[in-house]
Structure formats: C-alpha cells, structure tokens
Amino acid sequence: MKKKAIVVIVLIILLTFLVGSAITDIYRLGEPPECLIWCAMPENTNLNLKYFGFYNCDYREDSLQEVMDLSCTNVIFIYTRSYAMRDSLQACKERNMKAMIRWENGIKGASVYCHDLIVEYNDTILGFYFDEPWWHNYSLEYYHFVTKTLRETYPDKEVFSCLAVCEFANMPQFARDMTAQGVFARSKAPEGYYKYCTILGFDFYCAWNPYKVLYLQFFKQLKALCTPEQKIWLVPKGFYAEKGYARIVENHIEPIGNELINSLKEHYKLALREPKVEGIIVFAYMDGTFSEWGIAIENFVNEYSPHYREDVKKYYQQIGREIIKNANYQIVRT
C-alpha cells in the first residue's frame, strides 16, 4: 500500500512538473507584466537585424499612439494619403522612431508638400515604400523612373518594395493566370525591375502550417533575386482571416490568435539564420474589411477587444524589443 502511495505521489509530482513547465514556457505566472513569455527565445545574433514594426498603424491618431505605446517598434510606416502625415512624422520624431513613407502614387505623390516634409524630417525618415508594384501595374519604365528619381533626389534614403509572390516566384499556373482584379498578377516582373531598390520583401499570408515549406521556397527565390547590396525585410502575417475566407489563408482548427504567434516566431528564427534580413514588418496592426484580411493585431493587444490575448501582446513586445536593441534604439515613453 505504501509503495502504491509513493508511486502515486511520484506520478503526481512528475505530472505537475511537466504541466508546469509547459505553462511556464507559454507564460511565466506570478512575474511582473514585462516578463518574457518565450522562455526558449534565441538571442538576436544577426547583427544586421535591427528594425521591427507594423503596417497600417497611422490611419487613426489613437492607433499610432497604441503602436508606439507597445514600446517594441522603432519604425512606423506612414501613408502619403494620410490626412495627418505631418502629425505622424512629428510623433515619430518625438518618440525617436524612424518613418518609412508609403509612396502611394509614385512620383505623383511627390508634391511640394511631401518634399518639404521630407526635408523637414530628414533625420526621421528612413526611406520610401512601394507595395506590390508590378501587381499594381507599374510598368518597368515608370517604376524605374520613380525609384531612380527617389534614389537620386534622396540618396541617403532606402527604397523598399514588398512583392506579391507571383512577381518573382515560380507560382502554380492557376495563380499566375489570375488577373490583377483577382488575387495575383499574370506574370513575373521583368528582369531588373527592382534594380533601384535597396530593400526587398514579399507577402505570403497562408497559414504557416502546412505552408511553411512553400514559404521557404519563396524566400529562397527572393534571396536569389537580390543583388549583393540589397537587404531583405520579412513580412509575417498579423491577422486572423474569418471563416469563409480562402481556406489556405487560415488554420481554423487552432485557437484564434495562435497563428500570429506561430508566424512571428518562425519569421524571427528565419531572420536569425539569414544575414541579409535587416527588418521585420508585420501585416497588419489595424483591421481590414472582410474582403481584405479580417481581424488584425489591434484586436489581440488591446484589453477592450473581445479577442484580447495577453500572450500575443507579449510575444510582439518580447521579440520586437530583442530586435531593436541592435539599432541602439532607446525606447521613449510618454
């Protein structure tokens, strides 16, 4: 009887230890709010990896403030169509953050107003961003004119293009054949299309499992496209596509929000292995419509949301802060 009791006690202790270890690796119970939650998170050993931020965070003044208050980002993507472009740039300056300006209409967006802001906030602006230019029907001649002009006019600034996978990768025929009004463009971009860019990235938002292998193939093709001087920024998925959305985009078996953690962790681990990777920019902070992308990061990191998950919030904070340390970035809290 005594032996049975001892065996039972040992099993209980062992079970408690195993369960406790599993819980601790997700969340360190009883520790202060700033505690690490990915206990086995590798240190950022890629000396080039130094930027972390989010798409879609300055459409509202309060959303920009929310992102900055997370204290885990050092670059803000600012939209030229934003009604408060100056306010966004000023906020970045006050918080010691860099700004990447999204060039919505190419050179058409280079009004005197924009140029004056670029000069005024020269030390704050990191560079200019283009979203899927070939997919958005920028011809080779036009895109070269735009990017070459920016490089010559602002030689100390980056020119960053995020590509749709169909612009550079060997996609299945059904994807390549879809029109620009559908999901993908018809063909790859012409050779040399991105030669004036200093940074390249690509977006691929399918569920990490089981599409990890496909993603890594795309990454390999992007790396082959880069010149020795060009850098890479990774774009993890930062939204939950509601049911009814294309099934390849979302793993609806996992609890809502798990895919955000999976995608962030896997992109971070990839960045550590690849010296060309300089930044991680997550899509997206603010919600999209159902037809676009769905429930975005703002719902998972704000306590007022029914989708709030403290572990998701802390993963972004932990990984983001580890990355921006390499830029000698000092968090400024207001």
| pLDDT tens readout for residues 36-74 | 589 999 999 999 999 999 998 887 778 999 999 999 999
Tell whether 269 is covered by a domain: yes
Tell whether 37 is covered by a domain: no
Q: Is the pLDDT of residue 19 over 50?
A: no
Residue 113: per-residue pLDDT: 62
| pLDDT tens readout for residues 139-148 | 999 999 999 9
What's the distance, CA 27 to chain centroid?
A: 23
Tell whether 66 is covered by a domain: yes
Q: Report angle CA 229, 217, 168 to the nearest 5 degrees.
A: 60
Tell whether 28 is covered by a domain: no
**Model confidence, pTM:** 0.84
| pLDDT tens readout for residues 122-138 | 999 999 999 999 888 89
DSSP letters for 274-311 = -TTEEEEEEB-SS---TTTT-EETHHHH-TTSTT--HH
DSSP letters for 122-191 = TTTEEEEEEESTTTTT--HHHHHHHHHHHHHHSTTSEEEEEEEGGGTS---HHHHTS-TTSSS-SSPPPT
> Do strands 239-240 and 295-296 pair parallel, antiparallel, or not at all (unpaired)?
antiparallel
Tell whether 31 is covered by a domain: no
Count of domains for the chain? 1
More confident of the two residues 248 and 270 = 270
Amino acid (1-letter code) at residue 324: I
Q: Compute the distance between CA of residue 298 and CA of residue 292 in angstroms, rounded to an integer.
A: 16
What's the distance, CA 85 to chain centroid?
A: 21
Cα Rg of the chain (Å, integer) = 22
pLDDT, averaged across the chain: 81
| Torsion angle defined by CA atoms of residues 26, 32, 34 and 39, in that order, rounded to the nearest 10 degrees | -30
Q: What is the CATH number of the domain that holds 226?
A: 3.20.20.80
When mean pLDDT is compared over 167-171, 251-255, 306-310, the highest value belongs to 306-310
Q: Compute the distance between CA of residue 329 and CA of residue 71 in angstroms, rounded to an integer.
A: 11
What average pLDDT score do residues 94-103 get? 92
Tell whether 264 is covered by a domain: yes
Enumerate the β-bridge partners of residue 150.
Answer: none
Among 116, 35, 129, 34, CA closest to 79: 129
User: What is the sign, positive or negative, of the torsion defined by CA atoms of 224, 207, 55, 186?
Assistant: positive
Q: Compute the distance between CA of residue 289 and CA of residue 253 in angstroms, rounded to an integer.
A: 22
Q: pLDDT confidence of 85, banded at 50, 70, 90?
A: confident
Identify the burial level of 214 via C-beta atoms within 10 angstroms of its C-beta, where 0-12 means exposed, 13-18 middle and 19 or more buried. Answer: middle
Tell whether 201 is covered by a domain: yes
Percent with pLDDT over 70 in the chain:
75
Buried/exposed code over 102-134 (b: 16+ C-beta within 10 A; e: otherwise): bbeebeebbeeeeeebbeebeebbbbbbbbbbb
Q: Is the pLDDT of residue 82 over 70?
A: no
Q: pLDDT confidence of 24, banded at 50, 70, 90?
A: very low
Domain span including residue 264: 45-327
Report how far apart, in Å, the C-alpha atoms of 172 and of each of 238, 248, 250 are. 25, 14, 19
Tell whether 22 is covered by a domain: no
